[in-house]
Amino acid sequence: MNYLEEIELYLQQGRASKIKALIAEAMEQQIPANKILLHALMPAMASIGRNFRDNKVFVPEVLIAGKAMNVALDLLRPSLVKEDLPKIGKVVLGTVKGDLHDIGKNLVKIMMQGKGLEVFDLGVDVEAQSFVDEAERVGAEVIACSALLTTTMHEMKQIVRLAKEKDKKVIIGGAPVSEKYRQHIGADFYAGDAAESAELIAGYYNSKNTSASITKKNRMKDSADKSAE
Ligand code: B12
């Protein structure tokens, strides 16, 4: 078995300390973090998801595997996020009220940080109002919310309503959420995975920053022209 296969297997068993050691070794062998994420950790989570659905594993096993996945993500984070990136915008992130799933959210955080976005993570089980309060407090224009349960996704509608009052944009995601649902609740963006969410929001801030700097340049030119007259 190679490193990737071993990591995938041990994650399914929730063996955090074994995974830690294997990831360290794999990285020493120059296996890229991205490859470990996409070809070992994600397939393991998908397989846990299938086994959970088919009643082959139960909440305690899934919980332990989830913890091991978060340990693995913490180990990969430094390789996936370059510290010296220029900061392009702020995002408030969290999992909605009633929902404790955080692996997808944590992945969104890493991918967004990897694009130079400053992420303020509120954790799980977050009240709708808290997303907006935090966005106001830190001066973030974008709120990102995750929901994994059909019974909690409706919280997003409330977040969108409160966010609109404060002129904030909302991106939604998580397994039960879709583009159709985005349209239904009037959210600004939807992405199916973490990498896509980071692309979308980085693109949003980059185009905003570009038009702001063009406006600033034009203003400076106008005042220079006026003082020359
Ligand atoms: C791990 C897990 C758990 C763990 C969570 C551990 C943790 N730290 O997160 C534990 C054991 C705690 C758990 C509990 C429960 N779970 Co659970 N869980 C899962 C499981 C197996 C995997 C989820 C996961 O982490 N996937 C891996 C990550 C990477 O994928 P992801 O979260 O989908 O994220 C991706 C995208 O969705 C997207 N994304 C995610 N968030 C965001 C946010 C934004 C802004 C954007 C743009 C994108 C985005 O990007 C990620 C990929 O890049 C899923 C099965 C599944 N197929 O999803 C069930 C699942 C979600 N759970 C389910 C259920 C029913 C429960 C429980 C009710 C079980 C119970 N009887 O107690 C409880 C609910 C607890 C609660 N109140 O939240 C059901 C939900 C059914 C439904 N449609 O509502 C599922 C689908 C399993 C099933 N088939 O029945 N669960």
State residue 217's pLDDT score.
73
- Tell me the β-bridge partners of 95: 146
State residue 225's pLDDT score.
76
Rounded CA-CA distance 226/204 in Å is 33
Is the CB of residue 191 below 6 angstroms from any atom belonging to ligand 1? yes
Rounded CA-CA distance 8/212 in Å is 45
Residue nearest to atom 79 of ligand 1 (CA): 149
pLDDT in tens, the chain (229 residues): 899 999 999 999 999 999 999 999 999 999 999 999 999 999 999 999 999 999 999 999 999 999 999 999 999 999 999 878 899 999 999 999 999 999 999 999 999 999 999 999 999 999 999 999 999 999 999 999 999 999 999 999 999 999 999 999 999 999 999 999 999 999 999 999 999 999 999 999 999 888 777 777 777 777 777 777 7
CA 222–ligand 1 middle distance (angstroms): 54
Residue nearest to atom 30 of ligand 1 (CA): 104
Residue to probe by mutation, ligand 1, list 101, 142, 143, most atoms within 8 Å of CB: 101
Residue 147 CA: nearest ligand 1 atom is 41
E-assigned strand segments in the chain: 89-95, 117-121, 142-146, 169-173, 189-190
- Tell me the β-bridge partners of 146: 95, 173
State residue 219's pLDDT score.
75
CA 21–ligand 1 middle distance (angstroms): 26
Residue nearest to atom 81 of ligand 1 (CA): 149
State residue 53's pLDDT score.
97
State the helix-helix crossing angle for 128-138 and 155-165, rounded to 10 degrees. 30
State residue 84's pLDDT score.
82
Rounded CA-CA distance 206/50 in Å is 38
Do 142 and 131 meet the contact criterion of CB atoms below 8 Å apart? no
Is the CB of residue 124 below 6 angstroms from any atom belonging to ligand 1? no
Residue 172 CA: nearest ligand 1 atom is 45
Residue 45 CA: nearest ligand 1 atom is 27
Residue nearest to atom 65 of ligand 1 (CA): 149
Rounded CA-CA distance 159/229 in Å is 51
pTM for the whole structure: 0.95
Domains contained in the chain, CATH given: 3-80 (1.10.1240.10), 89-212 (3.40.50.280)
Is the CB of residue 150 below 6 angstroms from any atom belonging to ligand 1? yes
Residue to probe by mutation, ligand 1, list 36, 52, 160, most atoms within 8 Å of CB: 52
**C-alpha pair distances (Å), 107 with each of 77, 94, 103, 119:** 9, 12, 6, 12
Count of alpha carbons within 13 angstroms of residue 13, beta-carbon side: 10
Is the CB of residue 14 below 6 angstroms from any atom belonging to ligand 1? no
